């Protein structure tokens, strides 16, 4: 009886993780006899998730992490989805350089 209840709890938890991932805009794909959940965003790139017996394995930027807690998983997904301040600074710097180069090229044109 205890074993049966434990198995049912694991199945329910797997279903909950699947629903959580789908709710967070992951889509399901089957590959090599296993089910993967995939999400691509411009900020984070590719995020891949595999539902395990007890939790979810998240792969992002060649790093693997296993989560058994919904709060920790949600916090992690929020953290990697948000662009960091250093990215913003680098984008601002590159836009200034591009603007200066474009301005210089436009001044040299004979119109």
Per the domain annotation, does 60 fall within a domain?
Answer: yes
Indicate the Cα dihedral angle 71, 76, 82, 83, nearest 10°: 160
- Quick check: 77 and 39 in contact, CB under 8 A? no
Q: What is the mean pLDDT of the chain?
A: 81
48-74 per-position pLDDT tens digit: 999 998 899 999 988 999 999 999 999
Per the domain annotation, does 49 fall within a domain?
Answer: yes
- Quick check: 58 and 73 in contact, CB under 8 A? yes
Q: Which domain holds residue 17?
A: 2-80
Per the domain annotation, does 102 fall within a domain?
Answer: no
18-39 per-position pLDDT tens digit: 999 999 899 999 888 888 999 9
Per the domain annotation, does 63 fall within a domain?
Answer: yes
What is this structure's pTM?
A: 0.64
The pLDDT score that the predictor gives to residue 44 is 78
Per the domain annotation, does 101 fall within a domain?
Answer: no
The pLDDT score that the predictor gives to residue 94 is 79
How many domains, the chain? 1
87-101 per-position pLDDT tens digit: 566 677 778 888 888
């Amino acid at each position: 009886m205890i074993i049966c209840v434990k198995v049912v709890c694991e199945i329910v938890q797997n279903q909950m993780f699947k629903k959580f991932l789908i709710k967070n805009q992951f889509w399901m794909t089957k590959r090599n006899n296993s089910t993967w959940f995939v999400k691509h965003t411009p900020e984070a790139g590719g995020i891949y998730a595999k539902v395990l017996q007890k939790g979810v394995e998240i792969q992002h930027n060649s790093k693997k992490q296993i989560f058994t807690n919904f709060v920790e998983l949600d916090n992690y997904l929020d953290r990697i989805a948000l662009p960091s301040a250093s990215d913003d600074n680098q984008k601002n710097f590159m836009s200034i350089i591009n603007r200066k180069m474009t301005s210089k090229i436009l001044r040299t044109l004979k119109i």
